[in-house]
Each structure stands twice: as C-alpha cells, then as structure tokens.
Amino acid sequence: MHNLKERSFNEWLVIESQRGEKEAFNTLIQNWEQRYFLYALNRLKSRDAAKDVTQESLISISKGLRKLSDPASFPKWSFRIVERRCVDWLRKMIREREFIQAQEELPEIPIHDGIEDKLSVEQLLSKMDSRLAIILRLYYLEALTIQEIAEVSDVPSGTVKSRLFYARKMMTKLLENDHE
C-alpha cells in the first residue's frame, strides 16, 4: 500500500467488515487476494500450492478479522497468516517426502520471456531465492516497514535489512544479465 488514501480505504474496509458488511468484506478480499497469492507463489514456487495456501489464508483471515483490534495493522496481520500457512504447507511437504522417501525438489515456475525479452517484476522475483524475493515483495510492493516484515517473517529486523541489501544486489545483477 503506497499511499495514505489506499491505507485509509483498507482500514475502513476492515472496520466495515468487522461490523458484518459483506460488500466491504468482498471488496477487502478482492483487494488483497492477488497479493497473498503472489506472496505464496514466491514462497512456495508452486502455483497449485500458492492457490491452496491463499484460500486457506483467506478462510483464516475471515474467521479472525473480528478479533483484529487495530485495522491499520491489517496488512502485517494478514501477511503473517499467509506466512504461517506457507510454513504449514512446507512442513506438510517435508513430511510427505519423508514418508515416501523421495528427495525431489519443489517444482520451479517456468519463466516465459516477453516479446522484447524483458522480464516482469514477477519473473525476476521468481528467479531469486524465495526468502529474498519475499523481502522485496513486502518492502516495495506491499510497503511494509522493516519491523513489520521482521514480524511477518519471524526474523530479527537486522536479518530483514541484510536480506533486503542482498536482494537489491541480486535484482540489479539479474537486470544487468537480462540487458546483455
């Protein structure tokens, strides 16, 4: 969320949703569903898993929304839920792999270059380490603060700063490689 108007509108939607206004809740979900999906996609590197995690997250968000005491904290609170669902999915995959004793890696997202061979932001993020891509997404695309990202990711703010530094360097290198 990049501007005050958008933040205020989302806070209003949260308040109205908490009051039981279905139309406000539907609008709130429409505003955030793709953001959650893209976050999960970067985290899990699987479209199917990202869809499942997004749906599970939306259910948890809808069930817990009335308990949210500060509507301004909705972005941080909701991304924390998405992150926990991603971690749950990853743990489930690890358990399944151990059970069938398969050592497969998570499937990679195929990258399709555009006509002029320019990469979109999403394609660049998909080429990066998921931990770094997530930091970039939350910081630049979702406009969360370092502290909010630390709380969402459950890591110290110093780690977030360090990852943000390396993510910027990696993004620059990817951009330079694509323009050669």
Q: Show me where the domains of the chain are located.
A: 1-108, 110-180
Tokens (6 digits) for 180: 């050669």
As to burial, measured by CB atoms within 10 angstroms (0-12 exposed, 13-18 middle, 19+ buried), residue 63 is exposed
pLDDT for the residue numbered 163: 87
Q: In this predicted structure, what is the pLDDT of residue 80? A: 96
Tell me if 136 sits within 8 A of 164, measured CB to CB: yes
Q: Which fold has domain 110-180?
A: Arc Repressor Mutant, subunit A (1.10.10)
Buried b (16+ CB within 10 A) or exposed e, 64-87: ebeebeebeebbbbbbbbbbbbbe
pLDDT of residue 132: 84
CA gap 90, 153 in Å, rounded = 14
3-state secondary structure of 116: coil
- Tell me the fold of 1-108: Rna Polymerase Sigma Factor; Chain: A (1.10.1740)
Token pair of 74 as six digits: 């909705």
Looking at residue 104, what is its pLDDT? 41
- What is the model's pLDDT at position 112? 46
Per-residue pLDDT of the chain (180 residues; tens, 9 = 90+): 468 899 999 999 999 999 999 999 999 999 999 999 999 999 999 999 999 999 999 999 999 999 999 999 999 999 999 999 999 999 888 777 665 543 444 344 444 444 333 456 777 777 888 888 888 888 888 889 999 999 998 889 988 898 888 888 888 888 777 666
